[in-house]
């Protein structure tokens, strides 16, 4: 009897201990994010001013200056990436959702996941080999395409998931009314799933917005104002990188400011993405 | 849906061809990447053969290239990341799916997910100005001197700051959300009946998790960990900024090193000559093959669990 009681006490204790361990793990895991956000706010906020968004980078030794060119550059790169990545991703996603378990669909789905896990630096040297080496100079176009290629598998998988949520009855109803398949897919199915697809697209854009490695040898960065797609172009993450590894205090401050703006951009896009999912496909919740 | 198909119309044909073509872009892209980087790296691979993977002689001036230090550094930093991140990620996932009070679940899940949204370069920035000084002033002397680990080769030598340890720790923070997201998904897929049966037998909550939930989710969890490994192997910017970039194999975690990804990032734009460039491409090719292998394995494991649970 006493032994049973001891066992029970020990089991209770181990239950309690493990519970505490799990709480501790959750606390430790959330700590780095809070630390990073705190540093970004403290160090970045003092360097961000309205002129940060409107003026150009200053040479070493001169305080102030901004990253107007890098902010515009990042927006241009994201634009190119979306033009490249969205149509292909959405088309492939429709294909996967409609063919579900066809052998080709399973293969493509698997390869999309593999592609999604490729190191971004690999995408960078690939884009360099195909788009920079032959023409002999870095370009915004090469950087945007590299980012767009990274978007394809992400957009494909979210589009597939969202289209799959559209009730089959809706599809069948449209066909029964005499709609052709392609019109049903493009007007009924796609429109119903649009909220989710927009969310997926925005999440993908948010993820590539901070990518640096694919741009190192493609967009390359630019200290001057350029919006030409054929020229090297500045980008926020590249600028943060260059300034962070430089030995100058003024540039370090600019790096924190750029980092704060970049994280702000990523979070704003993510927040908009969350709002878009409020409208779930098929009405309902 | 096949049964519903009417006679093929031009519009339907065009639609099918277009979506199929877009789906085929994905395999085509993967093959093109492999072929392009493989061809670009071939001159170096042919010239150095197996020695490319085993030699530590990386000498652009004299045209000798061996990637062993970078491969070694990649493995060491990824190992540190996994050792640190896995228990924490499992803890968070188990906390969220089994222990957390309802009001805490959303905020904690959101915070951990947010970690995955922070760009790599920002981790690097934070690492340079916060993590590395902290390691140099506090953790490294603590490990080496206070705990006397300096007498082992793994924690000996001077503590500069930028090191394999710094890179491994930043990687741990970066892959944690990936591992915990997959683990959480797998845990949520474990049927309720599994838990209820154990609880009905009088098991405590922890015993239920240990004996009824975790075994069920095991291969999915392993898949999640391997997925995290895949991220760690190829992570570039943060590692480049923190690892110290040195071509040398050192057993000490306090020493600077190189990873395959950071080697490419650091030397590519200043490559001296075609062979140097080809050697960097070859490093990229090795990294590419490694990550494809690791990712395929992870997806297979995760999918197998999900299928088994369903």
Q: Is residue A22 part of a domain?
A: no
What are the chain B neighbours of A220 within 8 Å (beta carbons)? Answer: 269
Q: Label residue A5 by pLDDT band (50, 70, 90).
A: confident
Q: Mapping DSSP to helix (H, G, I), strand (E, B) and coil, where does residue A73 land?
A: helix
CB of B281 within 8 Å of a chain A CB? The answer is: yes
Write out the H or E segment, with its range, that includes residue B106: helix B102-117
User: Can you say how many angstroms the Cα of residue A281 is from the centroid of all Cα atoms in its chain?
Assistant: 22
Distance CA B17, CA B28 (A): 16
Q: Which of B219, B123, B124 is nearest to B177 (CA)?
A: B123
pLDDT in tens, B226-267: 999 999 999 999 999 999 999 999 999 999 999 999 999 999
What are the chain B neighbours of A252 within 8 Å (beta carbons)? Answer: 129
Question: B83 is written with which tokens?
Answer: 């050792």
Share of chain B residues as helix, strand and coil, in percent rounded to the nearest 5: 80, 0, 20
- Reported ipTM: the value is 0.92
Question: B283 is written with which tokens?
Answer: 């490093």
What are the chain A neighbours of B237 within 8 Å (beta carbons)? Answer: 212-213, 237, 241
Cβ-in-10-Å burial (0-12, 13-18, 19+) of A280 comes to: middle
The residues, ordered by sequence, that sit 6+ positions from A113 with a Cβ below 8 Å of its Cβ are: A153, A157, B295, B299
Strand partners, B64: B59
DSSP B212: I
Q: Label residue B164 by pLDDT band (50, 70, 90).
A: very high
Q: Which of A141, A135, A134 is nearest to A232 (CA)?
A: A141
Interchain pair A216, B268: CB under 8 A: yes
Q: Mapping DSSP to helix (H, G, I), strand (E, B) and coil, where does residue A8 land?
A: helix
Q: Label residue A274 by pLDDT band (50, 70, 90).
A: confident
Q: How many domains is chain A built from?
A: 1
pLDDT in tens, A124-176: 999 999 999 999 999 999 999 999 999 999 999 999 999 999 999 999 999 99
Q: Nearest CB to A125: which of B108, B230, B281?
A: B281
Give residue limits of the domains in chain B.
Answer: 46-309
A 94-153 → B contacts, CB under 8 A: 94-96, 98, 104-105, 107-108, 110-115, 117-126, 128-130, 149, 152-153
The residues, ordered by sequence, that sit 6+ positions from B135 with a Cβ below 8 Å of its Cβ are: B159, B161, B163, B165, B166, B169
Q: Label residue A281 by pLDDT band (50, 70, 90).
A: very low
What are the chain A neighbours of B21 within 8 Å (beta carbons)? Answer: 91
The radius of gyration of chain A's CA atoms, rounded to the nearest angstrom, is 24
Chain A CA closest to residue B259 = A121
Q: Nearest CB to A22: which of B40, B99, B123?
A: B99
Question: B281 is written with which tokens?
Answer: 């491409």
The residues, ordered by sequence, that sit 6+ positions from A112 with a Cβ below 8 Å of its Cβ are: A92, A96, A152, A153, A156, A157, B26
Q: Is residue A31 part of a domain?
A: no
Write out the H or E segment, with its range, that includes residue B225: helix B214-234
Q: Is residue A48 part of a domain?
A: no
What are the chain A neighbours of B11 within 8 Å (beta carbons)? Answer: 180, 182-183
Of A13, A20, A22, which to mutate for an interface test with B (greatest number of B Cβ within 10 Å)?
A22
Nearest-CA distance from B256 to chain A in Å?
16
Q: Are A89 and A161 in contact (CB under 8 A)?
A: no
What are the chain B neighbours of A211 within 8 Å (beta carbons)? Answer: 119-120
Nearest-CA distance from B126 to chain A in Å?
7
What domain range is A172 assigned to?
Answer: 54-277
Q: Which of A250, A210, A271, A208 is nearest to A52 (CA)?
A: A250
Please give the C-alpha separations between residue B68 and each of A213, B247, B255, B263, in angstroms, as whole numbers. 22, 9, 16, 11
Name the CATH superfamily, with its identifier, for domain B46-309.
MetI-like (1.10.3720.10)
Q: How many residues does chain B have?
A: 310
CB of B95 within 8 Å of a chain A CB? The answer is: yes
């Amino acid at each position: 009897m006493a032994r049973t009681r001891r066992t029970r006490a020990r089991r209770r204790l181990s239950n309690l201990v493990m519970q505490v361990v799990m709480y501790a793990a959750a606390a430790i895991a959330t700590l780095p994010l809070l630390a990073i956000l705190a540093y970004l706010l403290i160090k970045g906020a003092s360097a961000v001013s309205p002129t940060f968004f409107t003026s150009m980078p200053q040479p070493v030794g001169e305080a102030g200056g901004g990253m107007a060119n890098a902010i515009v550059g990042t927006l241009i790169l994201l634009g190119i990436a979306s033009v490249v990545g969205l149509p292909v991703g959405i088309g492939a996603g429709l294909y996967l959702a409609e063919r579900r378990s066809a052998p080709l669909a399973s293969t493509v789905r698997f390869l999309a996941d593999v592609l999604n896990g490729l190191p971004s630096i690999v995408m960078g040297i690939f884009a360099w080999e195909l788009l920079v080496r032959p023409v002999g100079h870095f370009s915004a176009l090469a950087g945007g395409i590299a980012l767009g290629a990274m978007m394809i598998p992400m957009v494909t998988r979210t589009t597939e998931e969202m289209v799959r949520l559209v009730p089959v009855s809706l599809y069948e109803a449209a066909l029964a009314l005499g709609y052709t398949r392609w019109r049903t897919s493009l007007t009924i199915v796609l429109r119903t799933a649009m909220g989710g697809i927009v969310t997926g697209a925005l999440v993908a854009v948010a993820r590539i917005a901070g990518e640096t490695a694919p741009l190192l040898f493609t967009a390359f960065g630019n200290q001057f104002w350029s919006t030409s797609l054929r020229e090297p172009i500045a980008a926020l993450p590249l600028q943060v990188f260059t300034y962070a590894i430089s030995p100058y205090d003024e540039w370090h401050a600019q790096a924190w400011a750029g980092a704060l703006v970049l994280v702000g951009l990523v979070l704003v896009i993510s927040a908009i993405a969350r709002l878009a999912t409020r409208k779930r496909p098929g009405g309902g919740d | 849906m096949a049964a519903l198909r009417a006679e093929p119309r031009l519009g339907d044909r065009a639609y099918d061809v277009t979506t199929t073509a877009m789906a085929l872009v994905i395999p085509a892209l993967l093959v093109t990447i492999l072929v392009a980087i493989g061809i670009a790296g071939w001159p170096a691979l042919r010239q150095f053969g197996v020695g490319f993977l085993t030699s530590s002689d990386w000498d652009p001036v004299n045209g000798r290239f061996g990637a062993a230090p970078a491969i070694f550094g990649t493995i060491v930093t990824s190992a540190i990341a996994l050792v640190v991140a896995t228990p924490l990620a499992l803890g968070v996932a188990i906390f969220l799916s089994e222990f957390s009070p309802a009001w805490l679940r959303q905020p904690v899940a959101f915070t951990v997910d947010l970690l995955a949204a922070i760009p790599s370069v920002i981790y690097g920035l934070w690492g340079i100005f916060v993590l590395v000084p902290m390691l140099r002033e506090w953790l490294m002397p603590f490990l080496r001197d206070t705990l006397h680990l300096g007498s082992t080769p793994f924690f000996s030598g001077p503590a500069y700051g930028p090191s394999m340890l710094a890179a491994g720790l930043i990687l741990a923070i970066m892959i944690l959300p990936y591992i915990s997201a997959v683990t959480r998904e797998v845990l949520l897929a474990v049927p309720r009946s599994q838990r209820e049966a154990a609880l009905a037998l009088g098991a405590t909550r922890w015993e239920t998790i240990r004996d009824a939930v975790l075994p069920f989710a095991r291969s999915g969890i392993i898949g999640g960990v391997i997925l995290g490994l895949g991220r760690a192997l190829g992570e570039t910017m943060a590692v480049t900024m923190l690892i110290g970039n040195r071509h040398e194999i050192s057993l000490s975690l306090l020493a600077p090193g190189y990873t395959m990804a950071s080697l490419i990032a650091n030397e590519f734009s200043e490559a001296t000559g075609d062979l140097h460039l080809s050697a960097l491409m070859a490093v990229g090719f090795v990294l590419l093959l490694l990550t494809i292998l690791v990712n395929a394995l992870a997806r297979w494991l995760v999918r197998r669990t999900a299928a088994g649970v369903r």
